[in-house]
Amino acid sequence: MSARSIIPTLYIPAHAYDIIEEPVADDKISRHITLYVNRKISRKVFLESLVHSEPTHQICFCTADSLLMLEYKPQIDINFSIESISELLVEQLMLDLQIDEMEAPDIFYSSATSTQLADTDAKLYLKSWQEIYEMLKKELDK
């Protein structure tokens, strides 16, 4: 089934554009329109009210075809990933070294591996926790 076949046949587009990007009117625009229509403000004042101090834009996807061009890209919560990996590494240290939950975090968070994991530019958080743990073990064996 094509995207066009799901659009009701009575639908008549107002224009031929697939996508429109334009400035967004602020929340006060309807009040300004009412004031202008009721001749409470001049045309000049009304037009000045349409100017934004901070430019903002809206994107309107006007056709089903334009919507089909969108692609979902999930975002990685980097901080959550780093925290989760760190917890796993500390737990593994406790098991392997037979140390308590007070000593293991001290060892891990004072390591170069921990520093590198916290550096988001290094992208170490993209590796599996097992790979990172192997790095940590090599560091601790030195």
Domain positions in the chain:
3-68, 78-141
Evaluate if pTM is beyond 0.75.
Answer: no
Dist. CA 35–CA 110, nearest whole Å: 64
User: Which of 67, 65, 113 has its CA nearest to residue 86?
Assistant: 113
**Chain centre to alpha carbon of residue 43:** 40
pLDDT in tens, 63-79: 888 888 888 777 778 88
User: Amino acid identity, residue 131?
Assistant: E
**pLDDT at position 25 over 80:** no
* 76-109 pLDDT per residue, tens: 788 889 999 999 999 999 999 999 889 999 999 9
Angle CA 21–24–30, to nearest 5: 140
Structure tokens of 118? 């916290």
